[in-house]
Structure 1
Amino acid sequence: MRKVVIGLFAILAGTSFAMAADTGCDAFKWPVEREQALFPEAPAAQSGATLTVGEAVDLTLAAVDTVPFQVPPQRAPAAGTFGATANVTVPPEGDLQLSLSDEAWVDVVQDGKTVKSAAFSGVKTCPGIRKSVRFKLAGGAAIIQVSGAKKADLKLAVLTPE
């Protein structure tokens, strides 16, 4: 009887450890290890900055009602929240992955129009990374619009999908 109880405990403990791993960063639909490596050393950037694909920044946000968005955000930001814009050159392949450290809405504007995201993954239990959004874009200039953030700064990684 004792061996059965010990064996059952080992099975249950193993299951709970596996479930715990799935509730953190592993719960994203795709890997976020690059963001985890980039965010701690992300240099400061202001709204309107030009960002480089493959890097992350610690973006200073402004009161959302003072940010000159090229087009209105797809989700209307609540009063008292923060936002920013940034420029980026999309690689010729056109795939872009934007990851944020905190809750906020992110749009990408190209040719004066908001581009619908191709995929989204959000996890509340991953320390330092809240969401990651993928876009299929044309190569060339684009504007990243962040809005609805509850804090005046957040980290933003601009990557190509793995």
Structure 2
Amino acid sequence: MKKVAISLFAILAGTSFAMAEDAGCEAFKWPVTREQALFAAAPATPSGAMLAVGAAADLALVPAEQAGFTLPPEHAPASGTFGAVASVVVPPEGTIQISLSGEAWVDVIQDGHAVKSAGYSGVKTCPSIRKSVRFKLAAGPATVQFSGAKKAELKVAVLTPE
């Protein structure tokens, strides 16, 4: 009887934990299920790479002072943090959603100017996604800067909003 009670407790605890994880991801202002699926198979990508809209990358970050930011990040990165610069071609509809697996600041630069975000959602209780930021941009090239990350890797998804 004791083994059955312990097993039942373990099953219920595991179910509760899984439900808590799902509830954490459900707390975003918009769905992040596409990002979760893309992050699972995100290819290793170096700093400086082109990010594709509709895809994810496991971005290798460098020490922030070596990132080569186009413009100073809106939030100055703390000492000992990591960053990267990447590029993206914004689709004709113009709005992109950049989602990150961990804590980091994201800036988007277009035509030499930093673009303010059009929307933000961040959740600390989702195990695979930390934040998702939307930007309204003109179609064409843009630079994306990641800064202030505490780890040297960051999964990034660039999508059009649902």
Normalised by the length of structure 1, the TM-score is 0.87
Q: How far has the Cα of 1:51 moved from its partner? A: 1.1
* Cα distance between partner residues in 1 of 2:59 and 2:23: 27
Could you say what secondary structure the match of 1:24 adopts? helix
Counterpart in the other structure of 2:50: 50
Aligned pair count reads 146
The reply on whether 1:65 has 2:65 as its aligned counterpart is: yes
- Aligned mates of 1:100, 1:89 — CA distance in 2: 18
Query: For 2:61 and 2:22, how far apart are their aligned partners in 1?
Result: 32
Conservation of the 8 A alpha-carbon contact between 2:88 and 2:144: yes
Q: CA RMSD in A?
A: 1.7
Counterparts of 1:124 and 1:44, CA distance in 2: 24
Answering whether residue 82 of structure 2 is matched by residue 85 of structure 1, we say no
Runs of 4+ in 1 over 4 A off after TM superposition: 19-23
State, as a whole percentage, how many aligned pairs show the same letter: 69
Q: Structure 1 regions of 5+ residues with no counterpart? A: 1-15
Matched, 1:160 2:160: yes
Residues 78-157 of structure 1 aligned to structure 2 (within 5 Å) = 78-157=78-157
Shift of 1:21: 7.2
The gaps in structure 2 that reach 5 residues or longer are 1-15
2:5 equivalent in structure 1: none
Change (3 A) 1:76 1:52: same
CA–CA separation in structure 1 for the residues paired with 2:142 and 2:96: 11
- Structure-2-length-normalised TM-score: 0.87
